[in-house]
Amino acid sequence: MTLPLSQSVRYKLRSYSSSQQTQSSYSQATTGGSPTQSNIPSQNSTSSTPCCSCSKNSQCKTNRCACFLAKKLCTDCIAFRSHCTNQAPAAANPNDNPPRANRYPAYDKNIIPPNSDLPNYDPTEADLCLDLVYGDHVHQNSGEHLDGGIPDDALWQNYYRTLIQYHPNHYEVPTRYAKRFVSTLASLLHGIITRAHNSEKFLLFPMVILQKTKHVKRHRDVTKLVSHQLDCWDNQQYQMLVQQT
């Protein structure tokens, strides 16, 4: 429906008057005085003028960039802190890339066991060349004859070879003894790091503690069995546990 001309004009005047009053009250509230043109905020005003007219996703590496075309570095473009690549490289921090000598420890021949080869092994010409360049060569053996200074290493290797051939079938750790089981397992792992024992002892612990027994199926019976196995382990009855498993 089309309004008469007089009513349309009055409607426009009321709308304009209302917008002017709103703008005047906003200016008085922010400045405390009469509204002026300088007090009205502008959405297009910026604190500084960009050095080029590139967008915020531009990399500033083509001739469309005024700074790149003039063979100058960007200083304050819109993409300066995000995608701009036409800027001076950041100063290198010496702590980020330490010298190679500090990143890699010096080679020490003393860390290689003198008996790494088997007693009857004769080094080849290639082994001698590797010794000359690198100080050691590839040893054609499994390393089982090296005990690393652990007195009972051969015993635990024998235990491990005895049980590793059987298919593992383990109980879940009962909640009542979960903390005790994990604490013992963590202490065995720490013992490998501190060279108290080798890894076979750590690997055998869950085998002898959690291995399923044919006639033990109820939860309370499993709990009693795991408790008994943990007690035997704490009492160092390792041979009995291996034989039962």
pLDDT in tens, 129-147: 888 888 878 888 777 777 7
Lookup: tokens for 1: 């429906």
Lookup: tokens for 94: 């010496």
Report the pLDDT value the prediction gives residue 235, as an integer from 0 to 100.
92
Report the pLDDT value the prediction gives residue 40, as an integer from 0 to 100.
40
Q: Describe the crossing of helices 153-163 and 199-210 by its angle, rounded to 10 degrees.
A: 40
Q: Which of 2-6, 69-73, 129-133, 176-180 is the least confident region?
A: 2-6
Q: Which of 12-16, 68-72, 170-174, 195-199 is the least confident region?
A: 12-16
Single out the residue of 149, 60, 76 nearest to residue 111, CA to CA: 149
CB 58 within 8 A of CB 65: yes
Report the pLDDT value the prediction gives residue 84, as an integer from 0 to 100.
85
Q: What is the mean pLDDT of the chain?
A: 76
CB 87 within 8 A of CB 73: yes
Query: Given a cut of 60, is residue 13 above it in pLDDT?
Result: no
CB 238 within 8 A of CB 203: no
Lookup: tokens for 12: 């426009």
The pLDDT confidence band at residue 3, using thresholds 50, 70 and 90, is very low
| 232 vs 77, more confident | 232
Query: Given a cut of 90, is residue 16 above it in pLDDT?
Result: no
| 145 vs 111, more confident | 145
Residue pLDDT, tens place only, 212-222: 988 888 999 99
| 142 vs 26, more confident | 142
Residue pLDDT, tens place only, 38-56: 444 444 434 468 888 888 8
Q: Where do runs of H (alpha helix) occur along the chain?
A: 5-31, 66-69, 100-103, 125-134, 153-163, 178-193, 199-210, 219-234, 238-244
| 63 vs 206, more confident | 206
Q: Looking at residues 150-166, what average pLDDT do you find?
A: 87
The pLDDT confidence band at residue 95, using thresholds 50, 70 and 90, is low
Q: Round to whole Å and give the CA distance between 25 and 30.
A: 9
Q: Round to whole Å and give the CA distance between 11 and 164.
A: 94
Query: Given a cut of 90, is residue 205 above it in pLDDT?
Result: yes
Report the pLDDT value the prediction gives residue 178, as an integer from 0 to 100.
92
Report the pLDDT value the prediction gives residue 104, as an integer from 0 to 100.
46
- Global pTM value: 0.48
- Percentage of the chain beyond pLDDT 70 is 70
